[in-house]
Structure formats: C-alpha cells, structure tokens
Amino acid sequence: MSIQAQPIPQRPSAEPLPPPTERFTVLGWLYKNLFNTWYNALLTVVMVMLIALAVRAVGEWALNVARWEVITANLRLFAVGQYPITALWRAWACVVVLWALAGLSLGLWSRRAYGSIALLLAFPFVLGILAQDETTRWALLGAAAAAAAGFLLGQLRQRWLRRLALAGWVAYFPLVIVLIAGLGSEAPLLPSVPTNLWGGLLLTLLLTVVGIVFSFPLGVLLALGRRSKLPILSALSVIYIEVIRGVPFVTVLFMAQLMLPLFLPGVTIDRVVRAMAGVVLFSAAYLAENVRGGLQAIPRGQYEAAYALGFKPWQTTLLIILPQALKAVIPILVGQFIALFKDTSLVVIVGLLDLMGIAKTVLAQPDFLGLQAEVYAFVALVYGVFSFLMSALSQRLEQRLNTAR
C-alpha cells in the first residue's frame, strides 16, 4: 500500500501581507509615550505647565503690548530695501514665481506636505493682510494664490508637470538675475538697478542662492581634489580648505571687500558681487569636507565592482560613487545651507543692508525707537519660516531617494 504525499498548499504571492503595525487609541498613545511611568508622567505635567505659561506670556505680549505697526509700515523696506518703486514689480514677480514653483513642487513630490503647504500659504497671506501698502498687499496675496494654484496643479502628478517644475527651477535663478539687475541703462522695459539699492530679504535670498549654486560644484571639486592621488592637486585642495575653515566668516568678507580689488587692478567690482564671492569661497570649504565624509563612507567594493564592469575612473566617480556619497550627506548639506542662509546677516558689517541691516535702519526711525523686540521677533520669524521650508524639503528628498526602503 503506497502512501502518496499530499502537496502543501501554497499561498499566492501576488499580494504579500503588510508588515505588522501597532495601533493605539489616543489614550493608549498618551499612556505609552507620556505617562508610562511615574517619572515620565511627572515630567510631562511639569513641561505642559511650563509651555502653557510661556505661551500665555508670549500671547499677552503679542496681542496687548507689542506695537506691530513698525512691521506693517515698513514691510516693503523689509522685503526689498531701497529698490526703486518704479521697478518694484520685477521683485514681486520673482516672489510670485518662487511661491508658484514651491507649491507645484510640494504638490508633485510630497504626498503629505500639509504642514509645509499651510506655512507656505499662511506666511504671505498674513503679511499681505497686515501690509499697509496696496502694492505690497496684492503682491503677497498673489504669491499665496500662486502657491495654492501650483499645489493643486501638482496633485495631478503628470510627467509633463514634473518636467515643467524642473525646468522652472533651472531657469529661475537666471530669471531673477535678469529681472532684478536689468538689461542695461538704455533698456526701455528692464533698465539697470544699481546693487547699492538692493536690500532686505531680497538681498538675503540672492546671497543665499548664489552661495548655494556656486559653492556646491566648487566644494565637490575640492573634495575630489583632496582625495586625488596627484600630490600637487591634493596639497592645494588641503591648503585651501584648511585655511578658509580656519578663519571666521567675517574675515573672509573683509578679504573679499578689500583684497579682491587688489588682485584685479583696473577692474571695478561691485560690493554685492564681492560679498557673493566671499560667501561662495567660505561655503565651498565647509561643503568640501561634508562631501569628503560621504565619499569616505562608500565601501571599497563599489570601486572594485565598477572597475570589474569596465568603468573608467571618471565614470566610476560621476556615475556610481558621487551619487551615493551625496545621497548619504543630504542632511549635512541642507544643514549647511540653512546655516549659510542665516550667516548672510553678517554682510551688514561690510555695509550691505540685508534683512538684518534693514532691521537696524527701521529701529533708527524716530517713530519706532525702542521697538527692538517686535522687529527682531519678525526677523526671527522670517528666518524660521525659510529654514523650516528648507528642512522639510530635505526630508522629502531623503524619503524619495531612500531606495533601501
């Protein structure tokens, strides 16, 4: 009598089971995270009381004591400095396009960016409601509307929209330079605007964008040069990186303002351009070390596998090693870009009126003497909003590039 083995039924593998997850009610989550032990419960109660007292004190000051007319009356000055009123539409056009691109990008590549899009919409909308100047008000409200329209359009997630967003970000920086600087003194539509009239948040963002765009490739080249097997190239890269990192940013700014004209005799270099050069040179040195850390994190097997497949050294670096290294150091790079955005406030020392410089000039007005708390609170809010948006963008980028998940 033969016994035939019965086949074991196989589970269809078309739809794998989802990973096990823990589900809690609101009370269960509170108990697990805040009240699971007696000392955690005590710490939670104390912190809630301290936060409530702080929020109450700040709210009473902001609603009953603070004089916010210093902000609403000088909102245009904070935004663009002494930029000519006749050409003000060019600066506001750059703001509207920036907000539209940001909203479109969040709609395309961020599925749950509700906090970021709410902040992106609320910031210009609230400022527009509070602005006293009609042009400033409608421009800020237009920026909020452009961000909302871009976000809704991005929800379609079409391929041509992704291409449009990428092309828009690539063309945005040249567009800003053309609009803000002009095409020449004889141009009827876009006459030149001297850089000594640039100021406020406009100048801060221009210094930041120029610093990021030009310091990134220079920093990558310095990182590759430091790891190069050519002794002269490696030595020059090491000397540059260590010298620049060994001096304060203010020193680099003064060197750019005073020494750069000496190296280029007979050439007139604008003060804003010299400040941009200092920002780029300083940021590139720090970025080079961050990129070098990412390059050192790549295991040797990646190089050996590339060589075994017949890749040349430059192909191995550009196509295999460098993309992995840059992906690994995204948080560090974005942290440096945020620090660069805040460090641009030091250009006030060399006579440029960025956002912090405008704040000092506003406090010197006879009608607003002694209102340092209101002015610096507003400046801190502006820096916080832009820093938060940059941080949120980096987190979304990390999630999309995290191919291991």
240 and 331 share one domain? yes
Count CB atoms within 10 A of the CB of residue 16: 8
225 contacts 218 by C-beta, under 8 angstroms:
no
Residue 63 has pLDDT above 70, yes or no: yes
What residue numbers bound the domain in which 166 lies?
Answer: 74-193
| Residue 230 · residue 298 · CB < 8 Å | no
Position 144 in a domain? yes
Q: Is residue 183 part of a domain?
A: yes
Query: What's the mean per-residue pLDDT of the chain?
Result: 84
d(CA 303, CA 307): 6
Q: In this structure, are 207 and 185 located in the same domain?
A: no
List pLDDT tens digits, range 89-101. 888 888 899 899 8
Q: Are residues 291 and 326 in the same domain?
A: yes
Residue 51 has pLDDT above 70, yes or no: yes
Q: Could you give the percent of the chain with pLDDT greater than 90?
A: 20
Per-residue confidence (pLDDT) for residue 241, from 0 to 100:
93
Model confidence at 284, pLDDT cuts 50, 70, 90, reads very high
Q: Is residue 87 part of a domain?
A: yes
Residues across the chain: 405
Average of pLDDT values for 138-160?
88
- pLDDT tens digits for 207-254? 998 899 899 999 999 999 998 888 899 999 999 999 999 999 988 888
The pTM for the full model equals: 0.81
Statement to judge: residues 149 and 254 lie in one domain: no
Side chain identity at residue 66, one-letter code: A
Predicted local confidence at residue 199, as pLDDT: 85
Q: How many domains does the chain have?
A: 2
Same domain flag for 203 and 164:
no
Identify whether 331 is part of a domain.
Answer: yes
pLDDT at 286 over 90: yes
Mean pLDDT is lowest, of 29-33, 103-107, 182-186, 350-354, for 182-186
